[in-house]
Structure 1
Amino acid sequence: MTSPESRPPGCAGYAPFEEELVNAMNDFVNAAEAPDFDTAGIVRRARRKRATAIAGIATALIVAGGGTALASINSGSDTSKPAADSTGRDTTLLYTFDDGATLPIDMGGWDQESVRVQFLKMRVKGEYAKAATGTCKPGSVIGVSPHSPQTVDTGDTVKVTLCAG
């Protein structure tokens, strides 16, 4: 397209093609509707998605943590306990959560590594000793101190007695 200054003298305005092109572009610009964005709705949906994602993740973490704690509780079967506990030591630990709720955990028959992992989750220290009895599986828990009905809080030390065989 040529500029009006570069036209030969005597030509006023645009050539028919140039004029038609300019009119077509102006019609296009004036006729095209600008998109209408609902910015408040977009922000609201983004916040809702974010809140839902955070709630889902928090729920998954709580369920995973609670599931781990529940999995550590003996579910009523005596398959993990020693055949006979002639020592008279109690193996049930009563853990107190930060909100005051308590959870009994029967550690009878657990091995030292399982106890160590559970203590890490509960943020409790463990001291381990072995006692000789002939009625238990070597390396399994035959007693904890303090035991139920005494409670154990975060940071406490629990003495664990393992079967020496």
Structure 2
Amino acid sequence: MSSQDPRSSGCTPFEEELIDAMKNFAHSTDSPAFDTAGMVHRTRRRRATLIAGVATALIVAGGGTALASRTGSTTPTTAEKPMTTATAKGSDYKRAILLLSYGKQGPVAVDFTGTDLQTAQGQLLKAGLHLGTVVKTESPGCKQATVVEVTPHAPKIVETGDTVNLKLCAG
């Protein structure tokens, strides 16, 4: 037989050699070993890192949004705003805080605590609100003739044209 003659199996010597090499390779290789515990640990660590990163980005974006709404050109300037930022003054501090609607910017807190009647009237007028009833009431630890409560107070949001009632300290 010559090298070109087919063998009894119907394959050329090259084909037989190739088949033998593939069989040897298939039977000699080890199955791959997987470190499943290590893979699970890495996956959990990556997931935790991703969640922390997304949470940080949301916090930063939220803080940036709050800063942008305070400094943006659509927000009224300090001279136009009829209020100051609300601060805690004892357990009843919310009673003298008015939430004033500013359209897309959302509600803005107006703290009337300790302001006199004339100043409060000016702030209400500037905000486009109407002054309703003014009543004097006994309240411990307040300065006479200053605002101790507004109605409606936070968390109710007041729109332009609404009426606001004031309670002043009797002394």
Could you state the TM-score of these two structures normalised by the residue count of structure 2? Answer: 0.48
Greater RCO, CA 8 A, separation 6+: 1
Could you state the TM-score of these two structures normalised by the residue count of structure 1? Answer: 0.50
